[in-house]
Amino acid sequence: MKIKLFTTGGTIDKVYFDKRSEYQVGEPKIGGILREVNVNFEYECESLLQKDSIDMTEKDRELISERITLDKHQHIIVTHGTDTMIQTAQKLQTMPNKVVVFTGSLEPAIFKSSDAIFNIGCAVGAVQSLPPGVYITMNGRIFDPHKVRKNLELNLFEDA
């Protein structure tokens, strides 16, 4: 089984430049993370966007949907910003014959305290074991995109 990884930007790929929180969405981090942890599966990375998810448009979501639909792989992970991950996952809800798992992080992957590596690991396990459908994996859980919310106060994803 080969896993296709699509990156769209978001906090997971942010690079901060100063103490005032000036940042850019940098190069995708997931490929480097997977190489560092020495995974034992085939994967292919493709960067679709490098955006903060707050700045995503319907046109961006259509691009993500189109690329996943046209891709030959059946097991797909999408790294995405957490602010609008739910909306994008809901747009893809009717994706036939593919397992699509969205994940991201609440802190940039370059931060030592980041949840990025853990969330990516959960997404890898989920994409290999779930039936076809669209899912979100964050905070050690797998969610239905229509039954999840981001709790800004607690800074985590939870049942809606």
Tell me which amino acid residue 23 is. Y
* Distance in angstroms (rounded) separating the CA atoms of residues 21 and 23: 6
In the chain, where the domains are located = 2-159
Instruction: Calculate ∠ Cα 128-134-135, nearest 5°.
Output: 75
Of 142, 146, 149, 95, which Cα lies nearest the Cα of 123?
Answer: 142
* Distance in angstroms (rounded) separating the CA atoms of residues 82 and 12: 9
For 140, other C-beta atoms within 10 Å of its C-beta total 12
Q: Which CATH number fits domain 2-159: 3.40.50.1170, 2.40.100.10, 2.115.10.20, 3.30.70.20?
A: 3.40.50.1170
End-to-end, the C-alpha distance of the chain in Å comes to 32
Tokens 């991201």 identify what position? 104
pLDDT in tens, the chain (160 residues): 899 999 998 888 777 655 556 666 667 778 888 888 889 999 999 999 989 899 999 999 999 999 999 999 999 999 999 999 999 999 998 888 999 999 999 888 888 888 999 999 999 999 999 999 999 999 999 999 999 999 999 999 999 9
How much is the pTM? 0.91
